[in-house]
Chains A and B, each alone.
Chain A
Amino acid sequence: MKYAWPWQLRRNGVLNMNMRNINYIGRYNPRKYYKRVDDKLLTKQLALANDIAVPDLIGVIREQHEIADIPEMVRGRSGFVIKPAKGSGGKGILVITHVEHHRYYKPNGHEITPSEVDRHVSNILSGLFSLGGKTDVAIVEGLIEFDPVFDGYSYEGVPDIRLIVFKGFPVMGMLRLSTTASDGKANLHQGAVGVGLDIATGQGLHAVQFDCPLEHHPDTGKRLIDIKVPHWDTLLHTASSTYEMCELGYLGTDMVLDQRKGPLLLELNARPGLAIQIANGKGILPRLRHIEAMRGPSMSPEERVAYAKTHFSSSSVS
Chain B
Amino acid sequence: MHSRKPFYLFVALLFALGLSASIYRGIEHHVPFLPGEQVQSWTVDAKVSFQGKGVPAEVSFSLPQDPAFEILVENTTSPGYGLTISNNEHDRRAVWSTRDAIGKQDLYYKVTLIPTGQIQIAAPDTPPAVEEYLWPATEQTAAEKVIEEVWSRSASNLTFAQQLMAVITGKDRSQNVELLLSSQSPTKLFVRMLHSKGIPAMEVNGLYLEDQRRRQQLSSFVEVYHKQQWVLFDLNKGTQGRPNNLLLWERTGRSVLDVMGGVNSLVNFSMLQDTRSALATSIDLMVNKNALDFSLYQLPLEEQSLFKSILLIPIGVLMVVFLRVIIGIKTSGTFMPVLIALAFIQTTLLTGLIGFLLIVSFGLMIRSYLSYLNLLLISRISAVIIVVIGIIGLFTMLAYKFGLSEGVTITYFPMIILAWTIERMSILWEEQGPKEVVMQGGGSLLVATLAYLAMSATWVQHWVFNFLGMHLVILALVLLMGQYTGYRLLELKRFKPLAGE
| Contact indicator B498/A17 (Cβ below 8 Å) | no
Residue of B nearest to A8 (CB): B499
B376 within 8 A of partner (CB): yes
Using known A-B contacts A5-B492, A27-B1, determine if residue A91 contacts B328 with beta carbons closer than 8 Å.
Answer: no
List chain A residues, Cβ under 8 A from B5: none
Interface string of A199-223 (1 = CB under 8 A from B): 0000000001001110000000000
Q: Which segment, of A74-82, A118-126, A144-152, A234-242, faces chain B? A: A118-126
List chain B residues, Cβ under 8 A from A9: 487, 491-492, 495, 498-499
| Contact indicator A208/B497 (Cβ below 8 Å) | yes
A6 within 8 A of partner (CB): yes
B288 within 8 A of partner (CB): no
B369 to chain A minimum Cβ distance, whole angstroms, is: 15
List chain B residues, Cβ under 8 A from A23: 485
List chain A residues, Cβ under 8 A from B1: 27
A127 within 8 A of partner (CB): yes
Using known A-B contacts A18-B488, A22-B483, determine if residue A126 contacts B495 with beta carbons closer than 8 Å.
Answer: no
A316 to chain B minimum Cβ distance, whole angstroms, is: 18
| Contact indicator A126/B485 (Cβ below 8 Å) | no
Bound: A122/B485 CA distance, A: 41
Interface centre among A9, A115, A281, by most chain B C-beta atoms within 10 angstroms, is A9
Q: What count of chain B residues pass the 8 Å CB interface test?
A: 27
| Residues of chain B from 287 to 327 with CB closer than 8 A to chain A in the complex | 325
List chain A residues, Cβ under 8 A from B483: 22
Bound: A16/B498 CA distance, A: 12
| Contact indicator B495/A91 (Cβ below 8 Å) | no
B496 within 8 A of partner (CB): yes
| Residues of chain A from 277 to 306 with CB closer than 8 A to chain B in the complex | 277-278, 281-283
| Contact indicator B374/A6 (Cβ below 8 Å) | no
Interface centre among A17, A18, A122, A126, by most chain B C-beta atoms within 10 angstroms, is A18
Contact of A128 among B325, B377, B488 (CB under 8 A): B377
Residue of B nearest to A206 (CB): B497
Residue of A nearest to B491 (CB): A16
| Contact indicator A127/B377 (Cβ below 8 Å) | yes
Bound: A128/B367 CA distance, A: 15
| Contact indicator B491/A128 (Cβ below 8 Å) | no
| Contact indicator A126/B376 (Cβ below 8 Å) | yes
List chain A residues, Cβ under 8 A from B494: 211, 278
Please report A residues at the B interface, Cβ cutoff 8 Å.
1-6, 8-10, 12, 14, 16-19, 22-23, 27, 64, 91, 115, 119, 122-123, 126-128, 133, 190, 208, 211-213, 277-278, 281-283
